[in-house]
Amino acid sequence: MNYGESSGKATSNINRSSNGEGYSLTKSIVDNVKLIKEIFHNDATLNFRYFVNQHNNNIKCCIIFILGTVDLHIINEAIIQPIIRNEGLHMNNDMVNYLKNHVISSSGIRKENNIDSLISALLNGDTILFTDGFQEALSIDTKNYQGRAVEEPEAEKIMRGPRERFTESIFLNLSLIRKRIKTPNLKFELKEIGEITNTKLCICYIQGIANEEVLSEVHKRLNDINIDGLLDSGYIQELIKDAPSSPFETVGSTERPDIVAGKLLEGRIAILLDGSPTALTVPHLFIEYFQSNEDYYLNFYFASINRMLRFIAFFMTTSVPAIYIALITYHQEAIPTALLLSIYAARQAIPIPSIIEALGMLLVFEMLRETGTRMPVIIGQALSIVGALVLGQAAVEARLVSAPMVIIVALSGINGLMIPKLKGALITVRILLLLLCSLAGFYGYIFGVALLLIHLLKMRSFGMQYMQQISISNPQSLKDSAIRSPWWLMIYRPKCISPERLKRQGKDGNGL
> Applying CB under 8 A, which of residues 214, 343, 408, 459 lies at the interface with another protein?
343
Piece of 15-23, 157-165, 328-336, 482-490 that binds another protein (CB under 8 A) = 328-336
**What is the rounded distance in angstroms from the CA atom of residue 403 to the CA atom of residue 395?**
9
Contact status: 340 vs another protein (CB under 8 A) = yes
Q: Is the dihedral of CA 302, 304, 305, 310 positive or negative?
A: positive
Contact status: 328 vs another protein (CB under 8 A) = yes
Contact status: 443 vs another protein (CB under 8 A) = yes
CB of 346 to another protein, least distance (A): 6
* Closer CB to another protein, 98 or 447, in the complex: 447
CB of 392 to another protein, least distance (A): 12
> What DSSP letter does each residue of 228-266 carry, written as one string?
S--SSHHHHHHHT-SSTT-SS-SSEEES-HHHHHHHHHT
* Closer CB to another protein, 93 or 245, in the complex: 245
The one-letter code for the residue type at 279 is A
Exposed / middle / buried, residue 260 (Cβ in 10 Å: 0-12, 13-18, 19+): buried
> Applying CB under 8 A, which of residues 91, 155, 341, 363 lies at the interface with another protein?
341
**What is the rounded distance in angstroms from the CA atom of residue 396 to the CA atom of residue 403?**
6
The one-letter code for the residue type at 56 is N
> Applying CB under 8 A, which of residues 348, 373, 381, 473 lies at the interface with another protein?
348
The one-letter code for the residue type at 458 is K
**What is the rounded distance in angstroms from the CA atom of residue 423 to the CA atom of residue 340?**
32
CB of 437 to another protein, least distance (A): 10
* Closer CB to another protein, 339 or 414, in the complex: 339
Tell me the number of residues near another protein by CB under 8 A: 29
Q: 448-477: which residues touch another protein (CB under 8 A)?
A: 451
User: Which H/E stretch holds residue 205?
Assistant: strand 199-206
CB of 475 to another protein, least distance (A): 34
Q: Which residues pair with 205 in a beta bridge?
A: 187
CB of 386 to another protein, least distance (A): 20
Q: 364-423: which residues touch another protein (CB under 8 A)?
A: 396-397, 399, 403
> Applying CB under 8 A, which of residues 58, 76, 183, 342 lies at the interface with another protein?
342
Query: Can you say how many angstroms the Cα of residue 505 is from the centroid of all Cα atoms in its chain?
Result: 30
SS3 492: strand
**What is the rounded distance in angstroms from the CA atom of residue 315 to the CA atom of residue 93?**
76
* Closer CB to another protein, 123 or 350, in the complex: 350
CB of 410 to another protein, least distance (A): 16
Asked if 290 and 311 touch (Cβ cutoff 8 Å), the reply is: yes
> Applying CB under 8 A, which of residues 13, 92, 226, 337 lies at the interface with another protein?
337
SS3 367: helix
**What is the rounded distance in angstroms from the CA atom of residue 112 to the CA atom of residue 355?**
70
**What is the rounded distance in angstroms from the CA atom of residue 144 to the CA atom of residue 72?**
9
Piece of 96-104, 175-183, 342-350, 476-484 that binds another protein (CB under 8 A) = 342-350
* Closer CB to another protein, 33 or 440, in the complex: 440
Contact status: 356 vs another protein (CB under 8 A) = no
Contact status: 154 vs another protein (CB under 8 A) = no
Q: Please tell me whether the peptide bond between 283 and the residue prior to it is cis, using omega within 30 degrees of 0.
A: yes
* Closer CB to another protein, 356 or 383, in the complex: 356
**In Å, what is the CA distance from 190 to each residue of 187, 222, 230, 480?**
10, 12, 15, 32
Piece of 132-140, 311-319, 329-337, 406-414 that binds another protein (CB under 8 A) = 329-337
**What's the maximum distance between 2 C-alpha atoms anywhere in the chain?**
102
Q: Which residues pair with 5 in a beta bridge?
A: none
Contact status: 155 vs another protein (CB under 8 A) = no
> Applying CB under 8 A, which of residues 47, 71, 447, 455 lies at the interface with another protein?
447
The one-letter code for the residue type at 291 is Q
Piece of 134-142, 251-259, 343-351, 423-431 that binds another protein (CB under 8 A) = 343-351
Q: Which residues pair with 112 in a beta bridge?
A: 137
Residues in Cβ contact with 251 at an 8 Å cutoff, skipping those fewer than 6 apart: 236, 237, 240, 241, 280, 281, 282, 284, 461
CB of 345 to another protein, least distance (A): 3
Contact status: 332 vs another protein (CB under 8 A) = yes
> Applying CB under 8 A, which of residues 180, 344, 369, 456 lies at the interface with another protein?
344
Contact status: 441 vs another protein (CB under 8 A) = yes
Residues 209-228: x/- map of binding to another protein (CB under 8 A)? --------------------
Contact status: 347 vs another protein (CB under 8 A) = yes
Q: Any idea what DSSP says for residue 472?
A: T
At residue 180, φ and ψ (nearest 5 deg) are -95, -30
> Applying CB under 8 A, which of residues 440, 452, 478, 483 lies at the interface with another protein?
440
**What is the rounded distance in angstroms from the CA atom of residue 206 to the CA atom of residue 178?**
11
Which residues bind to another protein, rule: CB under 8 A? 328-330, 332-333, 337, 340-350, 353-354, 396-397, 399, 403, 438, 440-441, 443, 447, 451
